[in-house]
Structure formats: C-alpha cells, structure tokens
Structure 1
Amino acid sequence: MEVRSADCRALLPLPECLERDWARRALALLQGDAHRSADTHLIKPVFSGLDGISIYLKDESTHPTGSLKHRLARSLVLYGICNGHIRQGTTLVEASSGSTAVSEAYFAKLLGLPFIAVMPRSTSPQKISEIERFGGRCHFVESAAAVYAEAQSVAEQSGGHYLDQFTFAERATDWRGNNNIAESIFAQMEQETHPVPEWVIMSAGTGGTSATIGRYIRYRNLATRLCVVDVEHSAFYDCYNSGDRTTTCPRGSRIEGIGRPRVEPSFLPEVIDHMIRIPDVASIAAMQVLSDRIFRRVGGSTGTNFFGLCWIASEMLKQGRKGSLVSIVCDSGSRYTETYYNPDWLKAQGFELTPWKDALERFLDGGELSLPTG
C-alpha cells in the first residue's frame, strides 16, 4: 500500500470525545463506591481451646452487595472501562454461579448498563432474585462447564462485553496495593499482638483473590504463608499437585462460588504455599458452627475457609506454635436458606453434619481436632 505524504486535509477538527466524558463519569462513580466500602471489618472471635493462636476473619459480607465478589466486580468493570471495552450502553455479560453476578448487576445498574448473567440452573433462588432486583437478567445452562462458551456467545449476540471473571480476576485487581483485600488485611493487623499472620487461609473460585494475596505477600516480603482450601468436584487441588492445567472435573461443586470443573486462567498455584482438599460436609458443618459462634449466618465458602483455618490451627497447636491466622467471611448465609440451612436439602444431599460439628466444637473449646472417619 502506498503511503501518502501528510497534507492539510488530514488536519481535522478536534473530536468531542463523548465516550471519554462518559468513562470519566463512570470512573468517578466506581471510585466513590470504593471509598465507601473497601475497608471492611476484621473481626476477632475468641475460642478458648486455641491457646496462643489469634483468629481474624475479614468480613466481606458487609459490602453493599453482600460478598467478597463486590471487590472483584468493581475491578472487572474498571478494567473493562480503562481498556475501552465498556462504553455507554454496553451490555455486560458474565459467567457466574451467583455472587459475582449479583455484584456486577449492582455496578451495571450504578452505571446505567444492561447486564446478563449466564449461570447454572442450580444457582440458589436468593441469588437469582438479587440479580434481578438490580435489573439484571439471568440466562440459565444445565451444566456448570457450559457457562464459559454460552457467556461468550451471549456477549457476541448482544454486541456486549464478556467480563470473564475466570480469566481476568487475577489481572484486573492491582495486587501491589490500591486498598485491595490483601493491603487492607495487613494494614488492619498492624496493631495486633501478632501483626504478621502465620497463614492466610482461603478457598478459590476464580483464583483471583488467592493470586492477589499470594503476590502481595511476596511483594511485601512477608513471612506469612498462603493456604488454599479446595472442595470436592474441583480441579484446583489436582492441578496444584500435578502441575497439569488441563485437569478437569466432570461435576460442578456443591459449595457455591468456589471449586471449578476446570483450572481457571486466574488460578496461580505458583503463589500458593500449601493446599488441602476437604469434604463438602466439612464445609457445611464448619459454616454452621462458625455462624453460631459469631452470631450471624455465613455461607458455604466461608465454612470451607473456616475448616481449613481450624486444620492449620490444630497443626500449630501440635507443634507448640503461637501466632495469628486470617481468613475471610465471603458472604452472608441469608443467600442459602433453601440449601445449606435447609434440613431437607441437606438430607437429600446425604450430609450428616452432627459428627463434624461435634468435632469442631470440641476443637474450638478444647484444642484437639479429631475428625470423623470415612
């Protein structure tokens, strides 16, 4: 192709930049939300059996949309706007099992944008209702593994933007700081007896939060280690042990929001110090025990986190170690009244919680963790 020399006809009038004006207004709205909600409470329950070990729980259920995913949703929308993918009138599309979609629906409404959530039909009715209350629309698939391709297809058909939490979670958040969850935790710990935690313990859904925390720990050159707790019917644990990112699982996780049938792009095993996998019954038992102890209902993923924290604490007690442990309250249990807090649902799933709850209660009061067999 011949390249012509520049002439005065190429000197056009300056554009109005209406899209940039919309983006600036949108960013101001998102920044206002961040200032109001980013620094959630770090609560410190006391358990008499854990002598010398201080427990801290970052309560992300107090965000405006009730979960840890509020941070992720805001980051994904910011990432889309700053990369020029989200403009005035753009339809936002996400593949989500619930909480991320609730938060994204909130931000879509804040910015006046349409929102479509592609999710498994088994998603809890409470989450579906919350998405719709924010003006979002739910598009259902039968299998959790089908959400990715369907979300991409819906975005293409609508001319919208696929937010794709599973790919972009680890890169949309500024892991070096900017009041991300890791910076917030460590800032809040500064005046505590053991300000540098021995371990941060959490589960993985996209893998983005564990990536942020693991990177931040290394960036700050802290002695803290990161333990990720995986659940049944999830590919993450096997990937961590084998290094095989093609690992898949034929069934979807029963613990909403965590565990995935494939290894998500945002899951970074290289920044994780240890992983364990626990039975789903342990997650739900721990969820109910913790709810009773802190006088508020928490969700299933928080139960996963708390059981992993108890296991780490039991190992520290065996070794005579003291220090602090930090985990996360991911969301409120109010979203799971029809499932994890429903005796009929638990019975249908074959969950017998009593032995696990009894073991955890004895541990929290007496310091010895003796788990049910089988």
Structure 2
Amino acid sequence: MRRSPAVSTIQQHITQHAQTGSPRPTLDVDRSDAEYRTWLKEAVRKVQADANRSADTHLLRFPVPEQWGIDLYLKDESTHPTGSLKHRLARSLFLYGLCNGWIRPGRPVIEASSGSTAVSEAYFAKLIGVPFIAVMPRTTSAEKCRLIEFHGGRCHFVDDPRKMYEESAALAVETGGHYMDQFTYAERATDWRGNNNIAESIYRQLRLERYPEPAWIVATAGTGGTSATLARYVHYMQYDTRICVADPENSCFFEGWTTGEPDVTCDSGSRIEGIGRPRMEPSFVPGAIDRMMKVPDAASVAAVRALEHAIGRKAGGSTGTGLWGALKIVAEMVAEGRTGSVVTLLCDPGDRYLDKYYSDAWLTGQGLDITPYVTAIDSLLETGVWPG
C-alpha cells in the first residue's frame, strides 16, 4: 500500500512547517472519523492496560565485601513481559505514535533494531493488531529473530547495519506504514519527570537501603534514551547522583561525547547487541551525562560470566558492558575510601546469546580473549584493588 497523493501533500506541508517554523497552512482534511477514533481509543487502552498488569522489576544486589561500605545493584529489566529493558521503550514509543496519529489500523509499524526493541515492538504491534517489520543486521542472534516472529513480526535483514535507517524509511513509504525510529524518538517518548519510569523506580526501591541516593548510576547506550531519562530525572529531582555511560567497541558515543562532535561515525557494527551505534543518535543527550567509559568487548563478556558466577543469572552483553563500568567505579570508590551505592542495569537475559557471549567458539572466532578481564574482576572482588 502506498501513500495517497493527499497524504503525501499533507506530509510535505508538515515537514516544511517543522523545518521553517512558519505557520502551518490551513488544510481542510477531516481525520476525525468515528471508526478510527474508536480504534485509537481501544489501542491506547490496550497498551496502558499492559503497563497496569506489569509489576515493577527487581533490584538485585551484586555481592561485594561488606567492609567496603559499598552496595552494588542491578536493575533487572529482564523480567518484563518481553524480557528486556526495551519493553519500557516500546510501550512509550507505541503510545507516542498512537497519540500523535502516526500509527494507523491495518498499516505496518517498521523499526530499525538490533533485536530487543524489535521483540518488544512486535509484542505491542500484535497487542493492537497491526503488522510489524523489524529491519535488523543479518548478524542478529537467532533467538531474537525467533522471538520477533513468535510475536507475529517479520524480520527484514540488512548486511550493513548503517543501512538500517534508510531501509526502514523506504519500507514505511512503500507500505504506507509508520517508521517508529527509536533512535530519534526514544528520549522524547518517555516521561523523564516520573510516571513510573526506570529512574523513579530505582529511587523508590532504594528508599529503605543504607545508601538510598546512589553515588553513580551506570547505563549503556543504544538509542541513548535510557541514559537521557536517568540523567534528566536526577537533575529534575536535584539529586547528587552522577550518570556514567559505558560504551562498547565499534560505537561512536564515547568519541562524540569526548570530542563534542555530533557527526562522529565508525565503520563497523557493534558486537554487543542492543548497544553501540555507528553514528551519534538523535536520542543521545551528551550534555546530561557526567562521565563516559570505553569498554572492550572482551571485558563485557567477562563481566556477564562473572555475573552468572556471582548470582546465578545469565545476561546479555550490554549488561556486561554496564557491569564492567560499575565495577570500575566501585574500585575507584574503594581506593578513595568512599562509601555509597552504585546501580547498573540487567538489560536482558543471556539465553538470547548462548551462541555468542557464552560460546567459547564464538569468542575464538571473534578474536576475543577474556582471560585478563576475568582476572581483573577476580582481583577486585578478592583484594579490593583494580589491576593496572
């Protein structure tokens, strides 16, 4: 299905208005038909009802020596109905798209995603009865592809991750659907002032802990929306918490943040699914972030394996990236004699990556040696000293 000339003309007027700021011309087009408004109200109700049925996610403790006077937590986002942090984002994006009139009955929703967002968006698309197409790298884990299809979505693969954006936009035009564009809208679709967002949830769950206001929250960045929500909420609530973003290899967020260059790019895709981008995404808000870390991919894998050893839970590579950053901050606090709490995120379950981050054969194929990073984590937990 292609857009009609009338819709194309309207879109041209809207785009021109957005670019110039000039008054929008009057167009006598009635979009308030009763059938669509009935569908819209029901779709919004279903998405909000999903949130109402969902309990909060757990805040897990990572064991560190009591004498340090430091508490390390992981916000376990893997317990959402679709198994990842991206469930929150997908719900917000669907509500944003519905309430803006962008998502329409019978027309597909299209998303550029390396996996978890697409799984969650496929779930919400099925919930409200619209088709869903995920445009994703061909290297995306087989388990994520299976989950997208389980929820009724379709996978559309690209060989070059940098082509996901334009391929998604082209599919939206071709099908008359809506390109969700998480990388642009993630930071604005979520209400960062509260409304049970992830930041408000963390502080509520820490209320009875010995350090209820964390010294640091460590996030990772795919769209940048989560770090923006966390940082904005901290500033809005006037907390002293600092926000750190841990960035994997083959991602340009760290370089963009340190150089202040918004057009920084890199040539290859991230091996840590769900985070790391080849360009500075519009939803990444560098000015709100206090610190960034570049984390080797082998360190991310070592950290998720250390997590399983410590609490018996497998997690995805993005969790490892954030945990490595959090452990490094803990080591700095120990060295400086500071006490307090540090929070990072358990983003999604490790069973989606058994053929990657838990496979020694995959590590060998990628040329990754996790041994020195395993040794570093063991040394920290045994002696309180970060090697090197």
TM range (shorter): over 0.9
- CA deviation map 1:157-211 (0-9, x unaligned): 0100000000000000000011010111111111110000000001100000000
Aligned with 2:108 (options 91, 112, 135) = 91
Instruction: Report the alpha carbon displacement of residue 16 of structure 1 after superposing the two structures with TM.
Output: 5.4
Instruction: Report the alpha carbon displacement of residue 367 of structure 1 after superposing the two structures with TM.
Output: 1.1
Aligned with 2:310 (options 285, 293, 299) = 293
Instruction: Report the alpha carbon displacement of residue 353 of structure 1 after superposing the two structures with TM.
Output: 1.4
Instruction: Report the alpha carbon displacement of residue 31 of structure 1 after superposing the two structures with TM.
Output: 1.1
* 1:203-282 to 2 correspondences below 5 Å: 203-282=220-299
Unaligned runs of 5+ residues in structure 2 are: 1-30
SS at match of 2:68: coil
Contact 1:89–1:112 at 8 Å: present in 2 too?
yes
Kindly report structure 1 stretches of 4+ aligned residues shifted beyond 2 Å. Answer: none
SS at match of 1:42: strand
Instruction: Report the alpha carbon displacement of residue 38 of structure 1 after superposing the two structures with TM.
Output: 5.5
* 1:30-49 to 2 correspondences below 5 Å: 30-37=47-54, 39-48=56-65
Q: 1:247 to 1:172 in 2, by over 3 A?
A: same
Tell me the residue number matched to 1:71: 88
Partners of 1:63 and 1:263 in 2: CA distance: 28
State the TM-score, normalized to the length of structure 1: 0.94
1:327 and 2:327 are equivalent in the alignment: no
Contact 1:199–1:225 at 8 Å: present in 2 too?
yes
Instruction: Report the alpha carbon displacement of residue 338 of structure 1 after superposing the two structures with TM.
Output: 0.9
Partners of 2:107 and 2:202 in 1: CA distance: 34
Partners of 2:267 and 2:330 in 1: CA distance: 33
- CA deviation map 1:32-53 (0-9, x unaligned): 1112225111111322277110
SS at match of 1:223: coil
Contact 2:63–2:310 at 8 Å: present in 1 too?
no
Contact 1:44–1:56 at 8 Å: present in 2 too?
yes
1:124 and 2:137 are equivalent in the alignment: no
Unaligned runs of 5+ residues in structure 1 are: 1-13
Partners of 2:67 and 2:251 in 1: CA distance: 30
- CA deviation map 1:21-68 (0-9, x unaligned): 111111111111112225111111322277110011100000011100
Contact 1:120–1:141 at 8 Å: present in 2 too?
yes
- CA deviation map 1:128-167 (0-9, x unaligned): 0110111100011101100000000011101000000000
Structure 1 window deviating more from structure 2 (56-65 vs 356-365): it is: 356-365
Partners of 1:235 and 1:15 in 2: CA distance: 43
Tell me the residue number matched to 1:348: 365
Q: Between the two proteins, what is the percent identity of the paired residues?
A: 55
Instruction: Report the alpha carbon displacement of residue 15 of structure 1 after superposing the two structures with TM.
Output: 6.7
Instruction: Report the alpha carbon displacement of residue 354 of structure 1 after superposing the two structures with TM.
Output: 2.0
Structure 1 window deviating more from structure 2 (40-49 vs 216-225): it is: 40-49
Q: Give the partner amino acid of 1:226.
A: I
Tell me the matched-pair count.
359
SS at match of 2:264: coil
Partners of 1:341 and 1:91 in 2: CA distance: 35
Partners of 2:216 and 2:77 in 1: CA distance: 18
Partners of 1:362 and 1:139 in 2: CA distance: 44
State the TM-score, normalized to the length of structure 2: 0.90
SS at match of 1:178: coil
Partners of 1:233 and 1:148 in 2: CA distance: 18
Aligned with 1:138 (options 144, 151, 155) = 155
Tell me how large the CA RMSD over aligned residues is. 1.4
* 1:56-205 to 2 correspondences below 5 Å: 56-205=73-222
Partners of 1:350 and 1:134 in 2: CA distance: 34
Contact 1:49–1:366 at 8 Å: present in 2 too?
no
